[in-house]
């Protein structure tokens, strides 16, 4: 399919969003027995597919805190920073800075206290009182590392596509390619944006994979999905005529190009398009949530409202069969005034993120849904000084940082790995992006060494061969 035609189909369907187009199942006699993805797959659709092994999870919600939440203030207590506060880091030559002109070697302790929480006794910062209440449902990974990566865009790429360079398919696209969809009325992969788009985005692109596997963007403002419904003057008969014209174009293309595999933008059932318009509107309607649920997430609090909306929508989508939802919140890059900034940010996200786990658990969904929280890096243990009048922050640190995961066969009440005594580098059981992705694929019943796509006669994979292994230590 040439690019001109693809763009016409994806942009001019009079109210059906590009991913609505991309994710329509082929209703007209094209249902077949489930199959496993292979290197030379001959057709591309959203039909459910058998996993390669017994799965523990069927859906995932990733809460991506872009910018680099400081593990030293949140999930990785370091008493040595208190002991040596104001003194130089003993291995200063090993520090790598993003902002070299503002670098220092002076150690900076956290202003916030940690305490042991839950039956597991996992140490958590006072900034996360709501996470403390679910700590026994989660694994805290304190040994995340992204070797040879320094900046935000490369880090976000690595954790979403497996590589720090642009141009590779995202995790959500791979899961959708490998397993298909459990809903024929909604996209299988959704990206929820809270605040501004993260720099370097989109991180929800299918790239090498056919475009039916890319993510649908849901915004924080109305209309949440652009072009989902047609304007008033195009509704009804006008839309039907235009969609009929598109169908004829599809048929002409098929006649002129028999055997073409990549028909990801083709619409086989326009009745299904109408159903998707209705289903998406229903899934995004928060007015149906109970007072108890609204209170649980902090939906009525202006500080937590935006994240609460995103987390509730994520749960509603997963309930309806959406495979992968990624919430993007790029607001954690704290090069200055870290002590005040991180307190404000935690107050906005801690309650909704913990509520999501509680809500999934109360609905019997947590065992089959992976929930993940974290960013693309942590922060250095030393002061970043931006000059007179500026309160200190911390520079980037990709050599050791923390995330947490829950549900979908992930251990509860567990801490995996550690950084060194100053929180600089992952030193025990390090987990890189390849290990992270291999673990997720395993929980979905997919083999990281087999899930591939052939592009220009060469195999493309999320996890490059032999680079990553599932982190068995965090699996229940």
Q: What is the mean pLDDT of residues 388-393?
A: 92
Looking at the structure, tell me whether residues 136 and 264 fall in a common domain: no
Confidence of residue 359 (pLDDT cuts 50, 70, 90): very high
Neighbours of 298 (CB within 10 A): 23
Q: Which tokens hold the place of 466?
A: 């032999």
In terms of Cβ atoms closer than 10 Å to its own Cβ (0-12, 13-18, 19+), residue 96 is middle
Given the structure tokens 């997963």, which residue do they identify? 318
Q: 181: Cβ–Cβ under 8 A, 6 or more apart, which residues? A: 23, 25, 46, 47, 48, 187, 188, 321, 323
DSSP 291: H
Looking at the structure, tell me whether residues 185 and 327 fall in a common domain: yes
Rounded Cα distance between 59 and 262, Å, is 26
Q: Please determine, for residue 357, whether its predicted confidence score (pLDDT) is greater than 50.
A: yes
Q: 386: Cβ–Cβ under 8 A, 6 or more apart, which residues? A: 102, 335, 336, 392, 393
Q: Nearest 5 degrees, angle CA 461-CA 313-CA 70? A: 65
Provide the number of structural domains found in the chain: 2
Q: What is the mean pLDDT of residues 288-304?
A: 97
Q: Which tokens hold the place of 467?
A: 């680079």
Q: Please determine, for residue 249, whether its predicted confidence score (pLDDT) is greater than 80.
A: no
3-state secondary structure of 431: strand
Residue 85 lies in a domain: yes
Rounded Cα distance between 386 and 102, Å, is 6
User: H-helix or E-strand containing 328?
Assistant: strand 324-329
Q: What is the mean pLDDT of residues 282-296?
A: 96
Between 44 and 284, name the one with better pLDDT: 284
Q: What is the pLDDT of residues 426-444, one digit of tens each?
A: 999 999 999 999 999 999 9
Q: What is the mean pLDDT of residues 163-183?
A: 95
Q: What is the pLDDT of residues 400-421, one digit of tens each?
A: 999 999 999 999 999 999 999 9
Q: Please determine, for residue 376, whether its predicted confidence score (pLDDT) is greater than 90.
A: yes
Looking at the structure, tell me whether residues 190 and 271 fall in a common domain: no
Confidence of residue 235 (pLDDT cuts 50, 70, 90): low
Residue 288 lies in a domain: no
Looking at the structure, tell me whether residues 361 and 271 fall in a common domain: no
Q: What is the pLDDT of residues 299-309, one digit of tens each?
A: 999 999 999 99
Residue 349 lies in a domain: yes
Q: What is the mean pLDDT of residues 247-273?
A: 55
Between 38 and 89, name the one with better pLDDT: 89
pLDDT at 33: 37
pLDDT at 43: 56
Residue 446 lies in a domain: yes
Calculate the average pLDDT of the chain: 87
Looking at the structure, tell me whether residues 17 and 109 fall in a common domain: no
Looking at the structure, tell me whether residues 193 and 101 fall in a common domain: yes
Tell me how far the alpha carbon of residue 281 is from its chain's centroid.
Answer: 22
Looking at the structure, tell me whether residues 333 and 422 fall in a common domain: yes
Domain that holds residue 405: 33-225+294-474
Residue 289 lies in a domain: no
Largest CA distance in the chain: 75
Q: Please determine, for residue 268, whether its predicted confidence score (pLDDT) is greater than 80.
A: no
Looking at the structure, tell me whether residues 45 and 138 fall in a common domain: yes
Looking at the structure, tell me whether residues 335 and 244 fall in a common domain: no
pLDDT at 274: 54
β strands within 133-207, DSSP E: 138-144, 189-194
Looking at the structure, tell me whether residues 39 and 27 fall in a common domain: no
CATH of the domain at 430: 3.40.720
- Please tell me the pTM assigned to this model: 0.88
């Amino acid at each position: 399919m040439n690019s001109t035609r693809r763009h016409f189909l994806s942009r001019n369907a009079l109210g059906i969003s590009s991913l609505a187009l991309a994710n329509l199942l082929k209703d007209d006699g094209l249902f077949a027995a489930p199959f496993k993805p292979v290197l030379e797959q001959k057709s591309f659709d959203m039909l459910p597919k058998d996993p390669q092994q017994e799965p523990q999870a069927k859906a995932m919600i990733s809460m991506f805190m872009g910018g680099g939440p400081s593990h030293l203030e949140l999930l990785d207590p370091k008493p040595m920073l208190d002991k040596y506060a104001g003194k130089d880091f003993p291995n200063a030559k090993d520090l790598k800075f993003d902002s070299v002109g503002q670098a220092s070697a002076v150690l900076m302790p956290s202003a916030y206290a940690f305490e042991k929480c839950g039956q597991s006794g996992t140490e958590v910062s006072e900034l996360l009182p709501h996470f403390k209440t679910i700590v026994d449902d989660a694994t805290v990974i304190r040994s995340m590392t992204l070797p040879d990566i320094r900046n935000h865009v490369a880090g976000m790429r690595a954790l979403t596509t497996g590589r720090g360079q642009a141009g590779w398919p995202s995790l959500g696209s791979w899961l959708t390619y490998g397993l298909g969809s459990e809903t024929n009325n909604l996209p299988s992969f959704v990206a929820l944006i809270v605040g501004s788009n993260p720099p370097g985005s989109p991180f929800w692109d299918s790239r090498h994979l056919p475009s039916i596997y890319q993510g649908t963007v849901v915004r924080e403002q109305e209309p949440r999905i652009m072009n989902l419904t047609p304007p008033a003057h195009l509704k009804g008969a006008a839309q039907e005529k235009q969609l009929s014209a598109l169908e004829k174009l599809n048929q002409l293309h098929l006649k002129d190009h028999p055997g073409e595999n990549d028909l990801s933008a083709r619409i086989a059932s326009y009745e299904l398009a109408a159903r998707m318009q209705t289903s998406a509107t229903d899934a995004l309607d928060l007015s149906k949530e109970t007072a108890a649920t609204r209170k649980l997430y902090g939906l009525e609090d202006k500080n937590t409202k935006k994240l609460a909306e995103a987390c509730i929508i994520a749960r509603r989508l997963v309930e309806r069969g959406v495979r992968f939802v990624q919430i993007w919140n790029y607001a954690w890059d704290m090069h200055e005034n870290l002590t005040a900034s991180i307190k404000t940010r935690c107050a906005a996200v801690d309650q909704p993120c913990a509520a999501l786990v509680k809500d999934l658990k109360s609905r019997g969904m947590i065992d089959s849904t992976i929930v993940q929280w974290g960013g693309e890096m942590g922060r250095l243990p030393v002061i970043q000084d931006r000059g007179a009048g500026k309160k200190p922050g911390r520079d980037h640190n990709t050599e050791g940082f923390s995330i947490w995961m829950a549900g979908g066969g992930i251990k509860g009440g567990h801490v995996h790995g550690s950084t060194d005594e100053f929180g600089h580098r992952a030193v025990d059981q390090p987990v890189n992006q390849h290990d992270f992705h291999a673990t997720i694929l395993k929980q979905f019943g997919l083999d990281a060494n087999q899930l591939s796509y052939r592009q220009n006669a060469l195999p493309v994979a999320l996890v490059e061969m032999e680079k990553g292994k599932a982190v068995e230590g965090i699996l229940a």
